[in-house]
């Protein structure tokens, strides 16, 4: 399918021609035959302020159609507050280029980076670097292979005669346009953005970024890796590299959810950490008690209760006394949550190392309930709350290591290893 073009071009003092040869604008139109041309004039150039004549005196549509009969022409005249400021054109140019994108969604937009001021050319290069899809930056060399300073400009009073001379001179002349290869600048910006997102474990945003970047180096591999990681996190699917023959299913699940907990902690998603840490701790403590003190619990519909057996009666009696000291009453139908698990640990083991780590997590339980159940805001400066959260995350890792001593230490660094892999692909 033949490529179709539209042109966005600032207009400068050397347009439409100079010294009997095409200016950059006309040269691009001559060689690319765009279906549409948007010409951007500053008000001062259009009206001829501080100039010998006004560019509005040229018949721009007739000139363009004389060399590209099927081109439609749109003329934009704007007052620019700070014409020598590089920020002066950014939003204005984007506005008209977006309009072209909407009107011609299947065309390639040519950007004339030679006509106009250096600020205009730089702005269009930045436009390409930021939004490169279906755009080409065109640079046109002077036919003199030197600066145009001192060369006589054209004049609208003799435009018909001058156009005939220009057309004759360009008939056998070599093309002077060049498509600039500046995509590497754009890719450098995207690589920086991607590295920042990956360092913050924001794999979903990194995936959405790379999906938009057609032609990016290693794009397919990056998309595959990031999509798999994003889906694993969203669906709570255990990462394949931490599924190991010597790991139990419970170990894999606990390790996976600890890695997610640490990820949210490093991203400072404090509320998410508070909500997750209790569930992970409960899971590990439950498995620890089941492993080291069997027959204490019974499960009904996935909820944990004390086993009301004759064998368990001495423990039940001790637990009742523990509750009475706290002003609470034993209920056989009450399922076991984090505070009860920690009380049970103390009865079974006293103030063991495992118990002390579990107790560290209990300290933030009331803070967690404020968010999860009462939807209250956090005040991390109050009562050293952030320090307590940090210690609770560290304690969760210690619970995991005690319960599952065969965890490979390298698996705790899995997300960092993955990040290094992505950085290498970038």
Q: What is the domain partition of the chain in residue ranges?
A: 5-181, 245-407
The pLDDT value given to residue 150: 46
For the domain 5-181, what is the CATH code? Answer: 3.40.50.10770
**β-pairing verdict for 72-78 and 108-112:** unpaired
pLDDT band at 373 (very low <50, low <70, confident <90, very high): low
Which residues are CB-neighbours of 395 under 8 A, at least 6 positions away? 281, 357, 358, 360, 361
Tokens 């959405």 found at: 208
pLDDT band at 251 (very low <50, low <70, confident <90, very high): very high
Quote the CA–CA distance of 276 and 86 in Å, as a whole number.
Answer: 48
Q: What is the pTM of this model?
A: 0.65
Quote the CA–CA distance of 410 and 138 in Å, as a whole number.
Answer: 51
Residues 377-393 have pLDDT tens digits of 666 666 577 788 889 99
Angle made by CA atoms 267, 270, 271, in degrees to the nearest 5: 130
Name the DSSP letter for residue 281. H
Nearest to 169 by CA among 30, 37, 14, 10: 30
Task: Please give the C-alpha separations between residue 193 and each of 72, 203, 210, 267, 326, in angstroms, as whole numbers.
Answer: 39, 12, 10, 16, 54
Which residues are CB-neighbours of 301 under 8 A, at least 6 positions away? none
The pLDDT value given to residue 9: 94
Nearest to 137 by CA among 114, 117, 158: 114
Residues 90-147 have pLDDT tens digits of 888 999 999 999 999 999 999 999 998 888 888 888 888 888 788 889 999 888 654 4
Nearest to 39 by CA among 52, 22, 58: 58
Does 154 or 93 have the greater pLDDT score? 93
What's CA 49's distance to the chain center, in Å?
45
The pLDDT value given to residue 252: 96
Quote the CA–CA distance of 281 and 415 in Å, as a whole number.
Answer: 21
């Amino acid at each position: 399918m033949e490529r179709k073009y539209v042109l966005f071009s600032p207009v400068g003092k050397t347009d439409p021609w100079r010294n009997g040869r095409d200016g950059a604008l006309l040269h691009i139109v001559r060689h690319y035959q765009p279906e549409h041309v948007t010409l951007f004039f500053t008000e001062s150039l259009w009206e001829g302020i501080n100039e010998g004549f006004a560019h509005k005196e040229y018949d721009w549509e007739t000139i363009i159609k004389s060399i590209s009969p099927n081109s439609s022409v749109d003329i934009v005249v704007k007052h620019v507050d700070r014409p020598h400021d590089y920020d002066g054109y950014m939003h204005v140019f984007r506005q008209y280029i977006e309009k072209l994108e909407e009107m011609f969604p299947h065309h390639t937009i040519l950007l004339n980076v030679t006509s106009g001021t250096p600020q205009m050319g730089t702005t269009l290069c930045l436009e390409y670097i930021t939004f490169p899809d279906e755009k080409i930056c065109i640079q046109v060399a002077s036919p003199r292979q030197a600066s145009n300073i001192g060369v006589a400009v054209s004049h609208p009073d003799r435009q018909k005669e001058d156009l005939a001379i220009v057309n004759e001179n360009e008939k056998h002349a070599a093309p002077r346009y060049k498509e600039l290869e500046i995509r590497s600048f754009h890719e450098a910006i995207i690589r920086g953005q991607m590295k920042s997102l990956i360092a913050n474990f924001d794999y979903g945003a990194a995936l959405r970024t790379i999906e938009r970047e057609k032609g990016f180096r290693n794009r397919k591999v990056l998309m595959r890796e990031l999509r798999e990681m994003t889906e694993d996190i969203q669906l709570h699917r255990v990462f394949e590299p931490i599924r190991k023959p010597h790991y139990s299913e419970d170990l894999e699940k606990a390790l996976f959810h600890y890695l997610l907990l640490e990820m949210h902690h490093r991203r400072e998603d404090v509320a998410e950490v508070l909500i997750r840490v209790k569930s992970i701790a409960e899971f590990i403590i439950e498995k620890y008690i089941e492993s080291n003190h069997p027959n204490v619990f019974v499960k009904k519909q996935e909820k944990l209760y004390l086993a009301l057996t004759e064998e368990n009666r001495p423990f039940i009696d001790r637990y009742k006394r523990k509750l009475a000291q706290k002003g609470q009453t034993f209920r056989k139908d009450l399922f076991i949550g984090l505070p009860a698990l920690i009380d049970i640990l103390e009865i079974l083991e006293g103030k063991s190392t495992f118990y002390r780590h579990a107790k560290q997590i209990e300290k933030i339980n009331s803070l967690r309930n404020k968010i999860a159940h009462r939807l209250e805001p956090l005040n991390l400066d109050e009562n050293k709350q952030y320090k307590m959260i940090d210690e609770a995350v560290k304690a969760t890792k210690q619970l995991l290591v005690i319960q599952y001593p065969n965890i490979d230490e390298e698996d705790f660094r899995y997300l960092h290893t993955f990040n290094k892999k992505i950085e290498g692909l970038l």
